[in-house]
Amino acid sequence: MTNRFAIDNSSILYLALIRKDHTNVYRFFLTMSEEVQPDLLQEAVDRIYHRFPSIFAGFRPGIFHYTQVQADAPPRVQPDPGCLITMSREEIARCAYRVYYRENLIIIEGFHAVTDGYGAAASFCTLAAEYLQLRYGLQITRGYPVMDVTQEPGPGELEDSYLDYANAKPLHMPSRYSYQLLGKEASHDTIHEAPMVFPVADVLAAARRHGVSMTALLSAVMASSVMEVQQLHPGRKMRPVRIMVPIDLRRIFPSSTLRNFILYALPTMEPGEQTLSITALAQKFAAQIKAHLEKDNLAGIMSYNVKTQNNLLFQMLPAGMKCGLMRLAYRFFGESNSSITFTNLGNIVLPPEMVPYVKGISITMTPRARSPYNCGMMSYNGAFFLNICRFPEKSELEDIFAKKMQSVLYDEGMQQ
């Protein structure tokens, strides 16, 4: 029997934002120790397909809403086309999850309505484990992020956890127009990438020196970089720089769901704060992120979002009209509410049997449609992988950010 799911609160927005030339897609790279054998990779996909019915899935439109439906069959492994490509509506309806290979790379791409980083990590780490087991006969320890494919998915993995915790007093987060990085809008002809790799130990040491978490330090460096870009293009009113930092709600609300379960913190650098030291800015961001992470605050935002989703009038609107209204609202109150998204998937820990065969893991995020940048990062095996993606040709932001990062990591006298 085909598995079917009501879409979650995040999926609604990602589906509403679909354009012919743009969808919110992420791409994960697993760098293997040897060249990938596509026949074994396909066999591995076939073996994990049943374990992730909400991830190997498409979204079928109805009169009033979309339904998330397990794909009729596992996706076919394909040679890598070389860049992140938008998904068509037809592809999203069939299976919004791709698997590619190139030389020693295993690559997965997923439409963000399917799952967040937690679920994506489970699927691609389990895929890598099955591939290595087939190739080398390894006996691999199971436990997140490598799931046991001999078991059926647990009910908690398939639930919409937003509904479980949306019982607080609704709280609406006010919007603020933020500085929007310049550049052409969505065009998937070319996505430019600026991958950077730093030792995790160096990033952690820098965060300790500044008295903050890695996320607070890195988002402060990014905000300072974006503010500098804004200063290089005078003539417009100076705007605040807000960094959209996705928060994995499983850290605060117990959940094993492999579907979307995230909200966002929005640490803000105001015009006029250009003279703040990185230490002062990072500590300000740390306080703002901590406030956004208050359990009551997050529960209130979830309640507001779910209440809006379940509003009877909204439910009665045809699906196309719902998407149109949400797309319009997001244009003015969503994407303009921040300057760049700054996604940190944290530290990926693989079973020890896999580590000699997996040399690196990194992520590419589709640049946003109208503010055409995005940034994704993660740690693996002592290395911190960060990738800034963009549509514009000029690498202005990346150059400034890389220079600031070098100073923050290796020059303790860095003040700006």
| Rounded Cα gap, residues 267 and 237, in angstroms | 20
Residue 254 predicted with pLDDT over 60: yes
Q: Which amino acid is at 316?
A: M
pLDDT of residue 74: 97
Q: What digits encode the pLDDT tens for the residues 207-251?
A: 999 999 999 999 999 999 999 999 998 878 999 999 999 999 999
414 pLDDT band, cuts 50/70/90, is very low
Residue 155 predicted with pLDDT over 60: yes
Contacts of 296 (CB under 8 A, 6+ apart): 168
Find the farthest-apart pair of alpha carbons in the chain and give their distance in angstroms, rounded.
63
Contacts of 236 (CB under 8 A, 6+ apart): none
Classify residue 208 by its DSSP letter. Answer: H
Residue 197, Cβ density class (10 Å: 0-12 exposed, 13-18 middle, ≥19 buried):
exposed
What average pLDDT score do residues 360-377 get?
89
Q: What digits encode the pLDDT tens for the residues 316-338?
A: 888 878 787 777 777 666 678 89
CB neighbours of residue 235 within 10 Å:
4
What average pLDDT score do residues 145-159 get?
96
